[in-house]
A and B are shown apart, each in its own frame.
Chain A
């Protein structure tokens, strides 16, 4: 077909204006595009937080962490580097709109010109000259050539391809047994405390390395404070706001305080200077969650950071309701991290961690895939892992010394079970609680093991005979773990009230009514019991079985459900919003 040739009026002002507009817009777009590409390349190469100057200053700061002038210098440099980066990025975004606008105008102009130029079809008198045979031939040839090209490309990619999975080691292709070899950990940096000595038991007694301290809630101290007021600041040595809340109690090693916090979006470990309260570092714990929406739903009273951290003296360990577990050294370097699986639990994971020699003990009792495991503190490698099918538990493991050896005691559902901390073998189990939601950790004192489940039972077990010695169906510590002192047990009730029990018979010796409930666990220092209620009021009373003898009832000024840690002659105490150091 031919088209009729008509003369176009290209001298028309509108035509020329459109042409000029299209050309100018096109040139403008090309220039902007060049700028965007150049800026993009520059941004890609830019790494504002690792500029040599900044890195050098940060290194210097590590050497002298109190150098305020240096901090200020880093802040300024850091701010300038970020500002430069984001300014470039904003320019890029703005330029992309300019580019889009330029291209759009150019398209409109040239499309209009194209419309103006389009010719009317005008069939001529020529007969179609298609040769069907020839057309079919080259169509087949065309498909054949395309097919050969595709097959050739595929084979050129596939045939030389070698994969290490073509011949995997035989031992890795068979189903794993219980003694499955866990992946060897990555090589540790020399700076990591891989060779750090494991703190001895005696050394641990000097610190507050985990939930309820080094000795089942019994702490050292002769002159702990008894008077303070969180509102007025009386008796408060420092008070620090933590960005993320958590119900885990603080732990202390040397002059460092560690706490964890978290929410649905992020989980963090904080390290503070116990003397000044300065935040030394905070580290986000890596998560396997693809998005915050994948985080499990938890009860508001549990939150995402309910378990108390633990330390072996060289590393700190934190676990969260998301199943994420991480280890950091004291400088905040991540040593290892793991995802243990998503806890399936109606309230949220709250079992605290425990350290035995060079292993980290994890109680992971949930509706499915429950286990207790021991991980190498240095590498995170699993030393042993024992399956548990006792249902959910919010209790924490207790390490007890019986007859020259150590046992791990775990409580979940109806069962109390004991494990060998070296092999993970279950040593014994006893059904004694009925189907219960267990929160308090087991307490070991005077050869008896004390276990409790709210609204169900409070019982004592003789670990030698593994027989129930006594059991109470009333006045049961539901949330907080009781503390033993001499022949007595002291604890707070989740519905309110402080109780003293006879440790040998279980008989209630006295009950002190209180206005508020107790979620925290008491500690004993000397002959004094420290038991905070939910409102932050600390009941300090004599460890006496005769009657409730109050010493003081100072208030923190905000809610608190955690157990205080002892640092020297002061308390490190976490409220709902702040972390306090209380002392004289």
Chain B
């Protein structure tokens, strides 16, 4: 926190030092309490019997008085519980909106984030989450046999509606995946924009692939590669746990790497958030261009004013834009073809296609030892032609989907290139509405924000009003009310 360093300057000042110590101890206790809560809940669950483990092996093959353990079946979530989750979710979204958009309260956003991590992450074990619900919705759209539960639909739609009106308040403090990353962002550094812009195309491709695989009933890619679900459920395959650990380690220095460079739901949220009417603004009134917020965003989602900066020759810019528009269909066609080609290896993720391929390979090469999968399939009494025809039908669906997804990714590339060829005039410091997580960190630095209690810089900022940007304000005076805002 900025004020801490400033206070420390006068380390000899005993009263100020006590403020620092009290505030730091407060932070430590608050967080220790949180982690103690999580740890205790884990240990409680550990103390329960695990009869499922006993069922992992067959019983001895002779009569021995062996007591067969009771077969345990997880209880299905009752409908009431599902609706309670929906209610909690809606309340959390509303509260996040109030904290971020209305109150500009980073502290409120932070503690709501902790609650969401505990409830939607550790208690609900990361399911259902709006990110994964993309696949449920995609499957229901393309597969008439799949009935989409209303509660899942609500989980999918509600954050989008909020994003359309208030921006990405879901990312701010309701998403458990975002929360766990936000917590570990201890020393965030700003990546060069060359890298972040390049990486920002990945979520579009990921979204396309996830929808394609879900729509063809091949699998739920997002859930399968969810890096944090293993932590929420306290179990999982080692590779996925390592992946999650890697994300968290990277997240210490690069804040919210999954959210920024992979989250497919963020694509949808960003598109709608761009249109939001009441998005979080750094300053609720006029920006005085004090530049205090300039580096406050660990995600680098603050757009700087560009008035007065040198611009490209208009004729050159228009000509380039024309080329870009001409190139757009070519780019879409090229990427669509790539998607079509990629659909062939992708289709192998479908179990029917994989079995059919293996079966034909065994048929062509009798020396091949049948795999467990082909043996199992043979024992089901399905005919050869049924198997092959089913596999070909799935490949055909994949192929069609591959064209569409490839085209979509090509369109994204093209539109991004066009977007970067058009310079929008920017007068003030504003958040990037497409990407901003509405975490409210930047608000705490704005001297004009009456809700953010940034009194410590208000005096300095007022001195700046009417002056030029190049003026050199005095160091701000911090306020102890900011204790705990991280």
Contacts and interface: CB of A to CB of B under 8 A. Distances in A.
Interface stretch (A164-172, A218-226, A229-237): A164-172
Contact of A4 (B6, B39, B199, B357): B6
A131 interface: yes
A114 interface: yes
A243 B383 contact: no
B2 A119 contact: yes
Nearest to A40: B238
B486 interface: yes
A97 to B, nearest CB: 5
Interface residues of A, number: 118
Interface stretch (B125-133, B156-164, B335-343): B335-343
Interface stretch (A175-183, A348-356, A421-429): A175-183
B312 A133 contact: yes
A300 interface: no
Interface in A426-479: none
Contacts, number: 305
Contacts of B341: 154-155, 158-159
Given A132-B309, A164-B361, A172 B389 contact: yes
A107 B475 CA distance: 30
Nearest to B53: A86
Nearest to B290: A123
A340 B382 CA distance: 10
B475 A120 contact: yes
B292 interface: yes
A332 B62 CA distance: 12
B231 to A, nearest CB: 8
A300 to B, nearest CB: 19
A117 interface: yes
Interface stretch (B30-38, B82-90, B145-153, B221-229): B30-38
Chain B contact residues: over half helix, strand or loop, or mixed? helix
A165 B391 contact: yes
A175 B395 CA distance: 17
A107 to B, nearest CB: 6
Contacts of B292: 121, 123
Interface string B267-293: 000000000000000000000001111
A165 B392 contact: yes
Interface in B454-484: 469-473, 475-476, 478
B380 A124 contact: no
Interface stretch (A98-106, A249-257, A480-488, A497-505): A98-106
A125 B290 CA distance: 11
Interface stretch (B21-29, B97-105, B135-143, B432-440): B21-29
A71 B416 contact: no
Given A143-B413, A151-B335, A132 B306 contact: yes
Nearest to B478: A120
Given A146-B201, A157-B345, A183 B383 contact: yes
Contact of A116 (B4, B296, B445, B472): B4
B400 to A, nearest CB: 16
15 contacts: A6-B6, A58-B61, A78-B60, A101-B39, A104-B35, A104-B39, A114-B186, A115-B24, A118-B5, A120-B2, A121-B445, A126-B470, A128-B309, A183-B377, A286-B379
Interface of B: 1-6, 8-9, 11, 17, 20-21, 24-25, 27-28, 31-32, 35, 38-39, 42-43, 46, 53, 57-64, 68, 71, 73, 76, 183-184, 186-187, 193-195, 197-199, 201-202, 205, 231, 234, 238, 290-296, 304-306, 309-312, 334-335, 338-339, 341-342, 344-345, 348, 353, 356-358, 360-361, 363-364, 370, 374-389, 391-392, 395, 409, 413, 416-417, 420-421, 423, 445, 469-473, 475-476, 478, 486
